[in-house]
Amino acid sequence: MKELFLVRHAKSSWEDPTLSDFDRPLNRRGKEDAPFMGEHLRHLGVKPDLILSSPARRAKKTAKIMAEKLGYPKDKIEWVELIYEATPQALLYLVCQLPDDAKHVVIVGHNPGLTMLSNILGDITIDNIPTSGVVAIAFDASRWYEACRMQGHTILFEYPKKVAKSG
């Protein structure tokens, strides 16, 4: 059994128009939503074996917050250039290459790639993963190479407004 958690970075700031897209930081809401969702995942018992993240500033900060809340060492987060502005095909290739000893993997990245990947691998259609949103997909497979070639079961689709309503 493998579980893949797709996490869209928290809300970013557009306050400084001189910053490149890559360098945009989190805004106030993002700084609140990322730890809120990290706590929610911890409460659900999520314990990642591996966290991969886009190196874009907003994704890095989100990944570090998630790692802290989930008890994952921040210095073990892998920064993967490919995740920034990735196509769903590139992300699918990344999933196929994941190490088999990692059963629970978190990928922190961007739309539209993450939403499209969730629709390729999961069994529900998602129009948009909102900022700080998480989609978890479970696969009845022992190897990621097998998992990336099958449809998994979408076991979670949560985002701050949905969690706040249900809490």
Cα angle value 67/78/125 (rounded, 5°): 75
* Residue 61, CA distances (Å) to 76, 84, 98, 139 in order: 14, 14, 22, 28
Q: Which of these, 70, 72, 134, lies nearest to 108 by C-alpha position?
A: 134
Confidence at residue 36, expressed as pLDDT on a 0 to 100 scale: 97
Number of domains forming the structure of the chain: 1
**pLDDT 10s digits, 94-106:** 999 999 999 999 9
Confidence at residue 165, expressed as pLDDT on a 0 to 100 scale: 82
Which pTM does this prediction carry? Answer: 0.97
CATH value at residue 78: 3.40.50.1240
Written as tens digits, the pLDDT of the chain (167 aa) is 999 999 999 999 999 989 999 999 999 999 999 999 999 999 999 999 999 999 999 999 999 999 999 999 999 999 999 999 999 999 999 999 999 999 999 999 999 999 999 999 999 999 999 999 999 999 999 999 999 999 999 999 999 999 988 76
Q: Report how far residue 30's alpha carbon sits from residue 52's, in angstroms, rounded to the nearest whole number.
A: 19
Confidence at residue 167, expressed as pLDDT on a 0 to 100 scale: 62
Considering only the C-alpha atoms of the chain, give the largest distance between any 2 of them, rounded to a whole number of Å.
46
Q: Report how far residue 87's alpha carbon sits from residue 82's, in angstroms, rounded to the nearest whole number.
A: 9
Confidence at residue 166, expressed as pLDDT on a 0 to 100 scale: 75
Q: Where are the alpha helices (DSSP H) in 23-128?
A: 28-43, 57-70, 88-96, 113-121
Domain interval for residue 63: 2-166
90: its two tokens: 């590139």
Q: Report how far residue 59's alpha carbon sits from residue 31's, in angstroms, rounded to the nearest whole number.
A: 12
Confidence at residue 127, expressed as pLDDT on a 0 to 100 scale: 97
